[in-house]
Amino acid sequence: MKTVKKEFEDLVYQGMKSYGLDELSSKLLAILHSEPDPLTLEELSTRTGYSFSAVSAAMKLLTGITLVEKTKKAGSKKLYFSVQKDMLTMTVNAIKTKNEVFVGPALKDLPEIIERCKKNSEEDSEEMLKLIEDYYQQMIALDLIFKNLTEYIEMIRMELGKK
């Protein structure tokens, strides 16, 4: 019979897998979600059964995409890892990161690319212009969606805080 903790880890694991994360990253996030305190790479390696180097590489990736936070404790050389356990905050951070890294640069750079394409006289330039302009419109829509979604999440957070 599964413990409540293991059942919770399995649920989080399946959720992370549904986002397209690999098995190890999903396991690491599930473990970190079920632990009240940050864990070291050694502890995560032991818990997952994966090598220290595999866990280290996965944690570097997860830290880079802001799903995991790393800290050092005073007097220790070891790195400690944790996750944001507030799913609303985690979602808002993920949306903001996606907007800053993916949408923002596209919105900044595409107008100039469109103008250069309009001046291009190559045979397929009209087709390329249409593709780029469509992509630009999609980025404008995503920017608006991400901003509205962030505001909506914050509104819900405030409502939940009142209850």
pLDDT in single tens digits along all 163 residues of the chain = 679 999 999 999 998 999 889 999 999 999 999 999 999 999 999 999 999 999 999 999 999 887 899 999 888 889 999 998 888 887 888 888 889 989 999 999 999 999 999 988 777 888 999 999 999 999 999 999 999 999 999 899 889 886 5
The predicted model scores a pTM of 0.71
**Residue 50: per-residue pLDDT:** 97
CATH (domain of 55)? 1.10.10.10
| 59 shares its domain with 124 | no
Domain span at 14: 4-83
| 56 shares its domain with 115 | no
| 47 shares its domain with 104 | no
CA distance 161 to 41: 35
Structural domains of the chain, count: 2
Instruction: Report the C-alpha dihedral over residues 40, 43, 47, 51, rounded to 10 degrees.
Output: 90
